[in-house]
């Protein structure tokens, strides 16, 4: 039986693999598992439930609310808000769990369900496993123990969530954004109201694109996966910078005044230097994944900032940050975690902090992002191979060692088996694109021959 939970909750085509029945069942299972774990002990449990604007989120939200209330959990329904807003409100309101319905940057037909523990933190793997096991047991026919009468959960809309979250974002900024002109691309998603409002309250002059969600247009040729509209708007309006979110706004990418992309590594570099200068970079360390550009690693070394690298996935970055007590971490994709102010990646907060750095220094974003040089990076997916033998093949290890010697200090090789498909990803960085491509092609051929 395929595992339901991935690295970021349960996702699937809404009304296809992700049904109302499954969503209701998972919500009931989550309530029972958390009750058994002692989370609800001594009080009546409360959950915060939010969603992105996908049309399917309307019926899936109803399923989640019904499931939780039927299990005796009171529900605060916050409506359309970003994933990090649901995480923040779960902590700020002292709720016992949070539930977000979103498929992030996925296309509109998809949707997903993600659970947050008390405090707004992602659920531990073991709790997700228990929720899944409990769901399957009861989907197979085992009856639920259900409360009746006054024991059922009550449901109310919590309209104050929007203002509370925006006030939090603006309140944690080190300085205002007066004098800055910013274009925001909300991906027709969950940040379409939140992000422009937060930037405006912080003092920026705001222009928007991708902020008219109709339930069907989320991530459609806009947002952090499609930057062309943002580039054009920044240049057209002569803005200082542009900020792009994904559908649930846990990511942020940016463009400078000339429309050039500023990726997650560059954003992380700018924020790391800024926090270091302000004394806010705990243990003088930033956490990133092994997919971060080598240019980021070289820049941090040059700036005297320690770098810790984890497996790919923002949950692994967060785990390392919490384990070591670090304040900043993130991914090239734009998941940036500022742990002093958020429990998960927060695209609006990231964009605000990036803009605050521009405002505080009076330097253009392009100049600030110049702290690191993005080295050419070539990624090749090699399909239909035995990914399990990547780390055990002597011939492959020899080929990688030879490639690393050829690239020297300004190059890097990474072979990474996919977690979900029978393929191996070959990533090569080098000082020149031609060299990176040549080495990547050669290694891809070796992978196909040895593992095919």
Q: Distance between CA atoms of 58 and 114, rounded to whole angstroms?
A: 16
Based on the number of CB atoms within 10 Å of its own CB, is 169 exposed (0-12), middle (13-18) or buried (19 or more)?
buried
Three-state secondary-structure class, residue 254:
strand
Q: Distance between CA atoms of 263 and 248, rounded to whole angstroms?
A: 18
Cβ of 152: how many Cβ atoms within 10 Å? 15
Buried b (16+ CB within 10 A) or exposed e, 86-105: bbbbbbbbebbbbbbbbbbb
Q: Which of 276, 287, 299 is nearest to 375 (CA)?
A: 299
263 annotated as ligand-binding: no
Catalytic, 104? Answer: yes
Q: Among the options 104, 292, 327, 333, which is catalytic?
A: 104
Q: Which of 196, 225, 220, 226 is nearest to 208 (CA)?
A: 196
Q: Which two tokens stand for residue 446?
A: 């070796």
Q: Strands 74-80 and 155-157: what pairing?
A: parallel
248 annotated as ligand-binding: yes
Q: What is the largest CA-CA distance in the chain?
A: 72
Phi then psi for residue 215, to 5 deg, are 90, -20
277 annotated as ligand-binding: no
DSSP state, 227? -
Torsion of CA 366, 370, 372, 378, to 10 degrees: 60
- CA-CA distances (angstroms) from residue 147 to 21, 32, 61, 130, 342? 19, 12, 21, 21, 35
Three-state secondary-structure class, residue 289:
strand
Q: Tell me if 33 sits within 8 A of 131, measured CB to CB.
A: yes
Q: Which residue in this structure is represented by tokens 């994933």?
A: 83
Q: Distance between CA atoms of 150 and 48, rounded to whole angstroms?
A: 20
Q: Which residue in this structure is represented by tokens 């330097």?
A: 363
110 annotated as ligand-binding: no
Residues 284-289: contacts with CB under 8 Å, at least 24 apart: 285/324, 285/326, 286/326, 286/328, 286/329, 287/317, 287/320, 287/321, 287/324, 287/326, 287/328, 287/329, 287/330, 288/317, 288/329, 288/330, 288/331, 288/332, 289/313, 289/316, 289/317, 289/331, 289/332
Residue list for the binding site for Mg(2+): 104, 246, 248, 250
- Residues marked as catalytic: 104
Residue list for the binding site: 104, 246, 248, 250
């Amino acid at each position: 039986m395929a595992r339901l939970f991935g690295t970021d909750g349960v996702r699937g085509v809404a009304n296809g693999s992700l049904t109302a029945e499954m969503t209701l069942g998972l919500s009931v299972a989550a309530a029972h598992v958390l009750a058994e774990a002692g989370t609800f002990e001594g009080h009546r449990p409360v959950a915060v439930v939010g969603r992105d604007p996908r049309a399917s989120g309307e019926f899936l939200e109803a399923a989640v609310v019904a499931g939780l209330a039927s299990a005796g959990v009171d529900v605060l329904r916050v409506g359309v808000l970003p994933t990090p807003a649901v995480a923040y409100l779960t902590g700020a309101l002292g709720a016992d769990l949070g539930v977000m319905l979103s498929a992030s940057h996925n296309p509109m037909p998809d949707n997903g369900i993600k659970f947050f523990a008390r405090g707004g933190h992602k659920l531990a793997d073991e709790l997700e496993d228990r929720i899944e096991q409990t769901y399957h047991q009861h989907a197979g026919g085992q009856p639920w123990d259900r409360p009746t009468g006054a024991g059922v959960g009550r449901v109310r809309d919590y309209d104050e969530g929007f203002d509370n979250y925006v006030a939090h974002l603006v309140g944690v900024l080190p300085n205002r954004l007066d004098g800055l002109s910013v274009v925001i691309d909300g991906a027709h998603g969950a940040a379409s109201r939140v992000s422009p409002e937060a930037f405006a309250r912080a003092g920026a002059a705001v222009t928007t694109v991708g902020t008219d969600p109709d339930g069907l247009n989320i991530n459609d040729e806009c947002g952090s996966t499609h930057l062309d509209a943002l580039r054009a708007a920044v240049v057209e309006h002569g803005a200082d910078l542009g900020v792009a979110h994904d559908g649930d706004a846990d990511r942020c990418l940016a463009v400078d005044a000339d429309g050039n992309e500023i990726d997650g590594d560059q954003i992380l570099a700018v924020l790391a230097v800024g926090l270091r200068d302000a004394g806010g970079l705990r243990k003088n360390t930033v956490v990133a994944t092994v997919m971060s550009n080598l240019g980021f690693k070289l820049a941090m070394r040059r700036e005297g900032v320690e770098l810790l690298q984890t497996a790919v996935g923002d949950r692994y970055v967060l785990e390392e940050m919490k384990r070591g007590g670090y304040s900043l971490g993130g991914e090239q994709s734009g998941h940036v975690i500022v742990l002093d102010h958020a429990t998960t990646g927060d695209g609006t907060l990231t964009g605000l902090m990036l803009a605050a750095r521009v405002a505080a220094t009076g330097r253009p974003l392009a100049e600030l992002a110049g702290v690191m040089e993005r080295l050419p990076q070539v990624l090749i997916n090699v399909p239909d191979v035995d990914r399990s033998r990547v780390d055990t093949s002597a011939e492959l290890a020899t080929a990688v060692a030879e490639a690393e010697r050829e690239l020297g200090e300004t190059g890097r090789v990474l072979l990474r088996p996919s977690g979900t498909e029978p393929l191996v990803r070959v990533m090569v960085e080098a000082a020149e694109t031609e060299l990176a491509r040549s080495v990547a092609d050669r290694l891809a051929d070796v992978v196909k021959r040895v593992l095919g």
